[in-house]
Chain A
Amino acid sequence: MLAEQQMWRYRVRKTVTRALLYGVLLAGAAIMMLPFIWMITSSIKAPHEMTLKTIQWLPKVPQWQNYKIAWEAAPFDIYFKNSFLIAFTVMSIEVIFSSLAAYAFAKLRFFGKNVLFLLFLGTMMIPGEVMLIPNYITMVNFGWVDTYWALIVPWTISVFSIFLLRQFFLSIPHELFEAAILDGCGKLKYLVTVMLPLSKPALVTVMLFKFIGSWNSFLWVLIMTNTPAMRTIPVGLTYFVSDVGSYYNYLMAASTFAMAPILILFLLLQKQFIQGIARTGLKG
């Protein structure tokens, strides 16, 4: 009798905690999603639905043409082309350069290795804002202001990627390397045919980080561009605001399509991405 009562009490308590747990987590997730939902539903509202004093979640008739109007109100095709071109180029070059450097730090023995590695890591400590001004002047001197060069070249190396890849390369057994070298395999060939295929998860992480970072980067592009032909999506979007002012339905449509590529990319690759971040946290 007593045991039964206890059992029952235990079950009730367990159910209540479960319900509470789900309740809190779902409510939290709903709050996190709210700005996205509000953005999307606002983007298909008619102008008079934007000035209601009470919450109307869905428009009576979805105004899909808002997207067309927003798209045509600014040269978004150019902004998109620039963002894609820059993010893709930066990502591709960066993964090659960083792999090479990481390989040297992970597997080769050479003069000045530790000092150099510390020097590289040291740059991660310094806020980019300190380098902003001299870099701007360098760009002026090179004549690179308002060109793709300025938006690509400085970003083709990241110490963070070198560090991440080095850690991953170190986890690949060294005996493999030694055996291959003894068999007369060149070091570069070993990197390309053995190391890189084995390091796919780390490479995907590095590339994703770079692509998203480049797509979202703002301050540098803002400073470096002064014509619409060179602007990327985030900078173009801020100029778009001053053009359409407070037509928030168009603004929300533009925000939606500005975010869409990254959101889709993330949803497709979310597993790799989340694992990648977890890894950086552990090793950092």
Chain B
Amino acid sequence: MIKVPMEMKTKKYWRETAEAYLYLLPAFVILGMFSFYPVIKSIYMSFFDWSLLRETQYYIGFENYQRILNDSVFRTAIMNTLRYVIGYVPISISLGLIVAVLLNSKIRFRGPLRVAYFLPWVTSSVAISMVWRWIYNQHYGLLNMMLAGLANVVNTVVEFVTFGHFTEVWQFTNPNWLMEPQWTIINIVIIAVWQSMGYNMIIFLAGLQNIPHELYEAAQVDGASPWQSFWKITLPLISPTTFFISIISIIGAFKLFTEIYVLYTGRPGPVNSGMTIVYYVYRNAFERYRMGYASAAAYILFAIIFIFTLVQMRVSRSRVHYGS
């Protein structure tokens, strides 16, 4: 039996309840219409052959799910998304942590440096992807010009130290970053790491400031090197922050879309090399108007994210160290 608390029976309590619901009303209406309702509606739609182009919709059971799971393009989308998650998440987190640890020491220009690292995060993905498109340009892009310069230096140095035995060890041919499919995910990983590292850094910095300074001093007295302090003190004590950031990053990474769309001007990269799960949803819903089919794909995305988050929580239970 549910125990009814005493306060439930008082008039004051119910008056306060009424007032609270009044305050919650706008949130309720908006969330109800644009969050709760669509979550349920899209499950329902995923069992239909639902097209915007006609009036009646046909119930088809699990057929959408079956067809998606058998679609080789969807499998490509999953593989590309996974490659992106595996490439982006660890690099972005570890670079963020490294910069945070370095910035956490007593140095000058801390404020400006922090701003410099963080700036990419506030900029619009669309505008910045445009800039990267120019950087990746095969003939006149900054990346290839810098790499060519670097190759030149390497070749000269190698030639000099080997007394001319090895010339041209690095034969640099301009890679066409945006046209060759093997680069697509790597291109996006570079942009995403560049853009999100600063955000991770800020959160790590906040976490680092919570670690008592005495711990480091004690370790130093006991003869620990900074390297040892990092592995034995910083890393374990920062683990709740790391956990938080990795959950946020993984969820965000699974939703990759905008960068691909802009970098490849509305196409999923050469030969579908940039086809991601969200791109697949977008294409089926808003280019082909197959709403039921796209809903099913969106739900598969949700299931994948959900499983990943659960696994992470499981793993973290034994690994994450929470202070007493």
Contacts and interface: CB of A to CB of B under 8 A. Distances in A.
A218 B125 contact: yes
Given A53-B139, A255-B130, A154 B23 contact: no
A194 to B, nearest CB: 16
Contacts of A101: 23-24, 26-27
A187 interface: yes
A281 B117 contact: no
Contact of B124 (A130, A140, A258): A258
Interface residues of A, number: 92
A17 B287 CA distance: 56
Interface in A222-239: 223, 233-235, 237-238
A199 to B, nearest CB: 15
Interface string B134-166: 110101101001100100000000000000000
B116 A281 contact: no
A280 B241 CA distance: 11
B123 interface: yes
B207 interface: yes
Given A109-B13, A129-B281, A187-B19, A25 B103 contact: yes
A89 to B, nearest CB: 14
A179 interface: no
Contacts of B205: 278
Interface string A230-271: 000111011001100000100110110011001100110010
A131 B34 contact: yes
B7 A55 contact: no
A108 B16 contact: yes
A2 interface: no
* Chain A interface, >50% SS class: helix
Contact of A218 (B114, B126, B294): B126
Interface string A23-62: 0111011001111101100100000001111110000000
Nearest to B108: A22
Given A52-B140, A282-B207, A130 B42 contact: yes
Contacts of B301: 127, 129-130
B202 interface: yes
B320 interface: no
Contacts of B31: 120, 123, 157, 159
B172 interface: no
B266 A238 contact: yes
Interface in B4-18: 7-8, 13-14, 16-17
Interface of A: 21-22, 24-26, 28-29, 32-36, 38-39, 42, 50-55, 97-98, 100-101, 103-104, 108-111, 113, 116, 119-120, 123, 125-138, 140, 153-154, 156-157, 159, 162, 187, 212, 215-216, 218-219, 223, 233-235, 237-238, 241-242, 248, 251-252, 254-255, 258-259, 262-263, 266-267, 270, 273-274, 277-282, 284
Given A126-B39, A162-B27, 16 more contacts: A100-B27, A104-B20, A108-B19, A110-B13, A110-B20, A110-B21, A111-B13, A120-B27, A130-B42, A223-B286, A234-B127, A238-B265, A252-B131, A278-B203, A281-B202, A282-B207
17 contacts: A22-B107, A38-B142, A104-B23, A113-B20, A123-B36, A130-B301, A132-B38, A134-B45, A135-B38, A137-B52, A212-B122, A237-B130, A238-B261, A263-B122, A274-B114, A278-B205, A281-B203
The 6 lowest CB-CB distance pairs between A and B, nearest first, are: A281-B203, A278-B206, A134-B38, A110-B20, A234-B126, A131-B38
Interface of B: 7-8, 13-14, 16-17, 19-21, 23-24, 26-27, 30-31, 33-39, 41-42, 45, 52, 99, 102-103, 105, 107, 113-120, 122-128, 130-132, 134-135, 137, 139-140, 142, 145-146, 149, 194, 197-199, 202-203, 205-207, 210, 241, 244-245, 248, 251, 254-255, 257-258, 261-262, 265-266, 278, 281-282, 285-286, 291, 294-295, 298-299, 301-302, 305-306, 309
